């Protein structure tokens, strides 16, 4: 429970940070707004075509009598829309981060500088950085689908599909949304995407505490646009916890200003400097 609460606190701290730095909030809304318009159009179109897709996917039910044919196809359409909505939450963050990559990278850096020393990541060109982000986002999306597709079919199981499956889908979306958002700060540390996944698996409750409330909020129209800058800021704070820097920040705050004349922090947490040969 402490880890779940800690994840939720990082989400709240991120939102407070951008509200206290209105300039960053304002700039961060534009990439999210562009993505929101694209995704809204796609989901609205899907809502109109869902019935036809359900009929195409279930030809074996053409000869079924009423109400079973209608019931099956209604359940199929609802599950399909919910599954794609869950995937869209994770991919929304990925597309928004790609569109606003320079801004969100700078936002993440500013958050870390306000908490302590900023880790210096690999020196990549803009296009190389975009390619790495796209490649890693496709990896995260693929892992999300590995869970979402089986859950979609399990949704047809009576009772189990209407109780356990939606909760599991929410947790899957929350975990991978956290992974996507944390990638901004972890990529700066030179942490490969598979290692990021391993790190969050070890702190699964922390990731769920951050991601699950965000998924629920992202499902509310337009809220995703407003919360995206703060989500990136909160993920930067969460990454400092993952790499050990957050614990040291809290210890330093607890000590207060008793160490007069002490210089700036020179540690980078427990994760090694990516420029240092191993």
**And the tokens for 97?**
């981060």
pTM above threshold 0.95:
no
pLDDT in the model for residue 125: 63
Handedness of CA 246, 251, 257, 263 (dihedral sign): negative
pLDDT in the model for residue 11: 94
What is the tens place of the pLDDT at every residue in 122-159?
666 666 767 777 888 888 888 888 888 888 888 888 88
Q: How far is CA 253 from CA 84, 95, 175, 233, in A?
A: 43, 36, 29, 19
pLDDT in the model for residue 264: 38
pLDDT in the model for residue 277: 40
Handedness of CA 232, 237, 239, 242 (dihedral sign): negative
pLDDT in the model for residue 278: 36
- Region of 65 on the Ramachandran plot (φ > 0 left; ψ -120 to 50 alpha; else beta): beta
- pLDDT, mean of each 10-residue run, the chain (278 residues): 91 93 83 88 79 82 80 82 79 87 88 80 66 83 86 82 86 92 89 92 94 90 89 94 66 41 39 40
Mean pLDDT of the chain: 80
Tell me which DSSP letter residue 117 carries: P
pLDDT in the model for residue 121: 63
pLDDT in the model for residue 176: 92
pLDDT in the model for residue 230: 93
**11 Cα distance to chain centroid:** 11
pLDDT in the model for residue 208: 95
- Whole-angstrom distance, CA of residue 221 vs CA of residue 199: 31
**And the tokens for 129?**
């950085």
Tally the residues of the chain. 278
């Amino acid at each position: 429970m402490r880890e779940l609460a800690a994840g939720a606190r990082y989400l709240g701290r991120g939102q407070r940070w951008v509200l206290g730095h209105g300039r960053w909030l304002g700039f961060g809304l534009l990439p999210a707004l562009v993505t929101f318009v694209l995704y809204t159009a796609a989901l609205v179109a899907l809502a109109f075509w869902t019935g036809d897709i359900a009929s195409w996917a279930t030809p074996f039910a053409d000869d079924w009598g009423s109400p079973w044919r209608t019931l099956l196809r209604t359940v199929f359409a609802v599950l399909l829309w919910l599954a794609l909505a869950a995937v869209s939450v994770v991919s929304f963050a990925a597309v928004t981060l790609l569109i606003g990559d320079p801004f969100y990278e700078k936002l993440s850096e500013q958050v870390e500088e306000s908490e302590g020393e900023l880790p210096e990541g690999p020196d990549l060109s803009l296009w190389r950085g975009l390619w790495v982000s796209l490649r890693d986002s496709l990896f995260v999306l693929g892992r999300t689908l590995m869970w979402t597709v089986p859950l979609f079919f399990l949704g047809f199981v009576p009772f189990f599909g209407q109780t356990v499956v939606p909760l599991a889908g929410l947790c899957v979306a929350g975990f991978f949304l956290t992974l996507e958002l944390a990638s901004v700060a972890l990529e700066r540390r030179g942490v490969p995407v598979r290692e990021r996944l391993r790190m969050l698996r070890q702190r699964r409750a922390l990731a769920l505490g951050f991601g699950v409330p965000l998924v629920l909020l992202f499902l509310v129209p337009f809220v995703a646009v407003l919360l995206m800058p703060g989500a990136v800021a909160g993920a930067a704070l969460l990454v400092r916890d993952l790499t050990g820097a957050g614990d040291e920040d809290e210890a330093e705050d607890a000590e207060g200003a008793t160490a007069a004349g002490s210089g700036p922090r020179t540690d980078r947490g427990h994760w090694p400097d990516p420029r240092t040969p191993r």
